[in-house]
Amino acid sequence: MIITNIEVIPDKTIVKHLGMVQGNTVRAKHVGRDFLAGLKNIVGGELTSYTELLSEAREEAVARMRKQAEMIGANAVVNVRFSTSSVTAGAAELFAYGTAVVVD
Amino acid sequence: MKYENPKIPEGINVSTEHPLIDFLMLAVGVALSVCAIVVLLAWSAEYAARFVPFSVERSLVEKAFLTDRYAAKDEAQVRDIDIYLKALTQRLVNAANLPEGMTVRSHLIEDETINAYATLGGNIFILRGLFERMPNENALAMVIAHEIAHIKHRDPIIAMARGISVSFITSTLIGMTNNSLAGGIVGQAGLFTALRFSREQETAADAAALNVLAEVYGHLGGATDLFEILGAESTSRVPEFFSSHPRSERRISGVSGRTAISGNGPLIPLPTFPQANKATPYYPVPGK
Amino acid sequence: MFELLIFFCLLVVGYLYGGLVERRHFASIRERESQYQNLLTFSTRHVPPFDSPVTVALVVGSTVVSIDFFKRTAAGLRMLVGGRVSAYESLLERARREAILRMKEEAVRVGATQIFNVKLETASITKGAGRQVGCVEVFAYGTGIIVSR
């Protein structure tokens, strides 16, 4: 399954457009990560535990989007867009959406 | 190029676990973890608090304490009741086998509440309400001996250390939940566990006080009188696990178990003292 | 003690009635989705050529959805433990599908037959205002293609 954020894939033609597919997940951090991040706030720098958490969540969102595309018979998802928002203090929603297409 | 919108099947973007099971597992898991954390904190607090020497505890308290501000300025201000209390306390202290350097002082507070407590620095406070309610000297002696036992076991400073550390951690966890009921679950779990420790301290103080009573008076009469009064006075029917003290019935059976050993005996009546004058604050007897 | 009782009642009401409201909402969403199944939506920007002249119109749809007390408490406990917050996932699913449906409703009103370049925005409404959060706004917008006869 090709997943891309361009519209026209080089060397491939889109045969059928199958509509929007979406994948999202909401993840919360836990006490341990929060505490360490709080300490890190004192010195500054990258909060690696949060980075990992959000990357995992994003992968899961993309996996869900891919599953929706598979279920409707697509073999590529184009024009993929991401959105991250904090729905409540302590939890983030990772959202990925795109258009499922059939390419040859 | 064809454009279509086939129907997407349900259930991909939602989780499949049943919400009730999810909630119960979360609630039970969080409550048990909080209990475990509180138990660890309570043990560490007790271990650490014992390192603070009693002399340090007493000098810290004396700096902030009001006793000297209210100390009697001359002989005329000292009341009979304070002298009596001091003498009774001294008799019990002599039988209590306190460690070297530990001193105990009793103070009578002019308040109608039926209560008595021991605080830092070896200070015991008896409230007028409790004093008036005592049927005989033996019951009053049981109260004072119980508080002396708390001081001997260093319970005031241990309870303070435990209270500070447990509240700190539970407040942090409650803040992280961002929800009043989830925070309530965490708080209640922490509270129940901490109360368990408090009840253990009370039971230990009861046991030590009974030993002192037996040594001073030769029998344990009067101890059950105290618990019966406390049981009758408590109007709220809270279950035991909500309370910092064991149930009165349990405390009475703790005594009855020993009455077989020490038997019953003459109960000394309390001397009568003039009614409290609310306008006059209490005047502890000057000196140690 | 009394407080705990009140909370327990709220929890039960939240679970039973809130669950009912959610199921009804999802049923309504599914029904309307099958109704609008022929109104095609895509997130691609490229609009294919049409035989007759077309006009374009921006169509939008938005909604603010909140969750019940039971789910809110479960989410609060989840904040300590970490992991997937399933309560919010279903909330967002509802909000997104509802927002897209409202966008389609507006498209029908203006006479569009297809919507291109659909984008979605999610925002938390009451996040900063205190601890009792759980409101999410989803906003969907796209370009509707109106084929003139």
Q: Would residue B173 count as lying in a domain? A: yes
Q: Would residue B36 count as lying in a domain? A: yes
For CA atoms B128, B132, B134, B137, give the dihedral sign: positive
Nearest-by-Cβ selection for A71 from B8, B173, B178: B8
Query: Considering its fold, how many domains does chain B have in total?
Result: 1
Contact B177 C114 (CB under 8 A): no
Provide the residue range defining the domain that includes A11: 2-103
Q: Computed over its alpha carbons, how large is the radius of gyration of chain C?
A: 19
pLDDT at B160: 92
Across chain B, mean pLDDT equals 83
What is the rounded CA–CA span in Å between residue B222 and residue B227? 9
Contact B178 A73 (CB under 8 A): no
Q: Chains that contact A by 3+ CB pairs under 8 Å? A: B, C
The predicted model gives B99-119 an average pLDDT of 87
Q: And the tokens for B278?
A: 């609310």
pLDDT at B239: 73
Closest-CA distance of chain B to residue C90, Å: 6
Contact C79 B22 (CB under 8 A): no
Asked if residue B75 has pLDDT above 80, the reply is no
What residue of A is the nearest CA neighbor of B12?
A64
pLDDT at C123: 83
Give the model confidence (pLDDT) of C15-52 as tens digits: 899 889 989 999 999 999 999 998 999 999 888 888 88
Specify the DSSP element, H or E, that contains A94: strand A91-103
Angstrom distances, CA of residue A29 to CA of A33, A86, B181: 6, 12, 19
Task: For residue A89, give the 3-state DSSP assignment.
Answer: coil
Q: Chains that contact B by 3+ CB pairs under 8 Å? A: A, C
Which residue matches tokens 């909370």? C7
Higher pLDDT, C149 or A10: A10
Give the model confidence (pLDDT) of C111-141 as tens digits: 999 999 999 998 887 655 455 556 788 999 9
The predicted model gives A71-80 an average pLDDT of 93
Q: What percent of chain B is predicted at pLDDT more than 90?
A: 28
Contacts of C14 (CB under 8 A, 6+ apart): C68, C69, C70, C71, C72, C73
Q: Chains that contact C by 3+ CB pairs under 8 Å? A: A, B
- Hey, which CATH number is domain C2-147, 3.90.1150.10, 3.30.110.70, 3.40.50.2300, 2.30.40.10? 3.30.110.70
Contact C42 A93 (CB under 8 A): no
Test mutation, B23, B33, B185, B242, chain C, max C CBs within 10 A: B23
- In 3D space, the residue among A17, B144, B162 whose CA is nearest the CA of residue C45 turns out to be A17
Which residue matches tokens 């989007």? A65
Chain A residues in contact with chain B using a Cβ-Cβ cutoff of 8 Å = 14-19, 21-25, 31, 34, 64, 67-68, 71-73, 88-90
What is the rounded CA–CA span in Å between residue C121 and residue C116? 16
Closest-CA distance of chain B to residue C81, Å: 8
Q: Which residues of B90-121 are buried (b: 16+ CB within 10 A; e: fewer)?
A: eebbebbebeeebebbbbbbebeebebebbbb
Contact B19 C73 (CB under 8 A): no
User: Other C-beta atoms within 10 Å of B209: how many?
Assistant: 27
The predicted model gives B133-151 an average pLDDT of 91
**Residues of B with CB below 8 A from C73's CB?**
23, 179, 181-182, 185
pLDDT at C69: 83
CATH classification at residue A22 = 3.30.110.70
What is the rounded CA–CA span in Å between residue A21 and residue B8? 8
ipTM of the complex: 0.80
The predicted model gives B246-255 an average pLDDT of 80
Contacts of C122 (CB under 8 A, 6+ apart): A83, A85, A87, A93, A95, C92, C95, C96, C136, C137, C138, C139
Question: What is the CB-side half-sphere exposure of residue B158 using CA atoms within 13 A?
Answer: 18
Q: Would residue B250 count as lying in a domain? A: yes
Chain C residues in contact with chain A using a Cβ-Cβ cutoff of 8 Å = 40-46, 75, 78-85, 88-89, 91-93, 96, 100, 118-124, 127, 133-134, 136
Return the DSSP state at C15: I
Give the model confidence (pLDDT) of B259-271 as tens digits: 666 667 777 777 7
Which residue matches tokens 């498209």? C107
Q: Would residue B101 count as lying in a domain? A: yes
Provide the residue range defining the domain that includes B178: 21-262
**Residues of C with CB below 8 A from B37's CB?**
none
Test mutation, A20, A87, A94, A101, chain C, max C CBs within 10 A: A87
Chain C residues in contact with chain B using a Cβ-Cβ cutoff of 8 Å = 1, 3-4, 7, 10-11, 15, 19, 30, 33-34, 37-42, 48, 69-81, 84, 86-87, 89-90, 92-93, 114, 131-133
pLDDT at B69: 55
pTM exceeds 0.95 = no
pLDDT band, very low/low/confident/very high, at C59 (cuts 50, 70, 90): very high
pLDDT at B288: 42
The predicted model gives B141-145 an average pLDDT of 92
pLDDT band, very low/low/confident/very high, at A52 (cuts 50, 70, 90): confident
Query: Considering its fold, how many domains does chain A have in total?
Result: 1
| DSSP codes joined into one string, chain B | -EE--PPPPSSSSS--S-HHHHHHHHHHHHHHHHHHHHHHHHHHHHHHHTTS-HHHHHHHHHHH-STTTT--SSGGG--HHHHHHHHHHHHHHHHHTPPTT---EEEEE---S--EEEEGGGEEEEEHHHHHH-SSHHHHHHHHHHHHHHHHTTHHHHHHHHHHHHHHHHHHHHHHH-SHHHHHHHHHHHHHHHHHHHHHHHHHHHHHHHHHHHHHHSS-TTHHHHHHHHHHH------GGG-SS--HHHHHHHHHHHHHHH---PPPPPPP-PPP-TTSPP-PPS--
Q: Which residues of B55-70 are buried (b: 16+ CB within 10 A; e: fewer)?
A: eebbeebeeeeebeee
Asked if residue B2 has pLDDT above 80, the reply is yes
Q: Would residue B278 count as lying in a domain? A: no
pLDDT at C65: 85
The predicted model gives C87-111 an average pLDDT of 92
What residue of B is the nearest CA neighbor of C82?
B26
pLDDT at C18: 87
What residue of B is the nearest CA neighbor of C77?
B182
User: Other C-beta atoms within 10 Å of C94: how many?
Assistant: 20
pLDDT at B74: 62
**Residues of C with CB below 8 A from B178's CB?**
76, 79, 131-133
